[in-house]
Amino acid sequence: MEYLFYRLWQLLIGKSEEDMPPFGSIIIIWLLIVLNIRTIELLLNHFFDFAYTPRGENEIILYSLIPISIVLIFNIFYLFRRRTKIKLKYENESELKKKVGNIVLFTYGVLSI
């Protein structure tokens, strides 16, 4: 997850202010993780008839907001606060590691869709 954060950050650099690329990276990761969680939930429901059915409007809102909030809070506290350490860790990576990392991230992106 740190490497995905770093690569997205590097992709977004130059497009806006200093703190915006890391924040944009967090939002993209947040969206990918939430979509992955919902996809797993739909697959479990389809194959195993395993799902929680909210009964009221308030339950639907809570059912949706709880996982979304947990993932966003985790990203903010884990990734955004450690952004300088993550940058220092990956900015001097070799070309081979960069290529392998890009292949892994591309595969993750394709499989997430």
Per-residue confidence (pLDDT) for residue 96, from 0 to 100? 93
Rg (CA), the chain: 17
Q: Where are the domains of the chain?
A: 2-10+19-112
Give which of 82, 80, 87, 73 is closest to 34, Cα–Cα. Answer: 73
Mean pLDDT of 46-67: 75
- Name the pTM for this structure: 0.74
User: Over the stretch 78-89, which tens digit does the pLDDT of each residue have?
Assistant: 888 888 898 889
